[in-house]
Chain A
């Protein structure tokens, strides 16, 4: 059974820092991996989608990498801003055609 783990569960950093969020999954046979952002009281917003054949995707200050063989993905946020404060979730689609979510990393960026 696929399990997705995110570390750390919570992170608090000063504005301007570069930071890395981690996601690991137990079954490397995945079709893709997505990173989402969730603001309090809101739904999830898709940030980046990495196909299984890709190794990374970039969008603005965000860069996500994927290492299928080791079952890991990282989300790199450059020059963090208070507006980046949110919960970040990763999710993998495996061969059961389901999107399995991690429990998220709650990020706070303070001025």
Chain B
């Protein structure tokens, strides 16, 4: 079990550029979550998918953020255009559960995004 795999581990980009973060969930898990972690706000849920379908995207900050899950083994989080306030660590997590969190979440090691 390779765990949840995220890429890249670090991303440094200039304001206005497009950023794409990638996630491969654990095989067999049917729920996938994108979180953002900052010192000021802690961990925030951005969006979660169940069986590849977006269930709740109310945490997505604004229209500059979008997420897709074209199949059960891959998801992307895109920011276009990026802004300095988007700098954070972005985590992807997956679980066996459905909309409920009754199954433990498994997190990737995150992508540290810096927007200058």
B97 to chain A, nearest CB (A): 10
Between A32, A99, A102, the greatest number of chain B beta carbons within 10 A of the residue's beta carbon is seen for A99
A95 to chain B, nearest CB (A): 11
Rounded to whole angstroms, the CA-CA distance of A89 and B106 in the bound complex is 14
Q: Does B56 contact A (CB under 8 A)?
A: yes
Q: Does A10 contact B (CB under 8 A)?
A: no
Q: Is the pair A42, B109 in contact by a Cβ cutoff of 8 Å? A: yes
Rounded to whole angstroms, the CA-CA distance of A76 and B101 in the bound complex is 23
Q: Is the pair A43, B104 in contact by a Cβ cutoff of 8 Å? A: no
Rounded to whole angstroms, the CA-CA distance of A42 and B109 in the bound complex is 5
| Contacting residues of chain A (1-59) with chain B, CB-CB under 8 angstroms | 31-32, 34, 36, 41-46, 49, 51
Q: Is the pair B110, A43 in contact by a Cβ cutoff of 8 Å? A: yes
With A101-B42, A102-B42 in contact, do A46 and B110 touch (Cβ < 8 Å)?
no
With A97-B56, A102-B42 in contact, do A51 and B102 touch (Cβ < 8 Å)?
yes
B116 to chain A, nearest CB (A): 21
Q: Is the pair A31, B102 in contact by a Cβ cutoff of 8 Å? A: yes
With A44-B105, A46-B105, A103-B42 in contact, do A97 and B100 touch (Cβ < 8 Å)?
yes
A interface size (C-beta, 8 A): 22
Rounded to whole angstroms, the CA-CA distance of A44 and B109 in the bound complex is 8
Q: Mark A42-83, 1 if CB is under 8 A from B, else 0.
A: 111110010100000000000000000000000000000000
Say what secondary structure dominates the interface of chain A.
strand
With A97-B56, A101-B43, A104-B42 in contact, do A43 and B102 touch (Cβ < 8 Å)?
no
A40 to chain B, nearest CB (A): 11
16 residue pairs bridging A and B, Cβ less than 8 Å apart: A31-B100, A36-B105, A41-B109, A43-B93, A43-B108, A43-B109, A44-B105, A46-B104, A46-B106, A49-B102, A49-B103, A51-B102, A93-B101, A97-B100, A98-B56, A99-B105
Q: Which residues of B contact A (CB under 8 A)?
A: 4, 42-43, 45, 55-56, 59, 91, 93, 99-110
Give the 3 A-B CB pairs with smallest separation, nearest first.
Answer: A43-B107, A46-B104, A101-B43
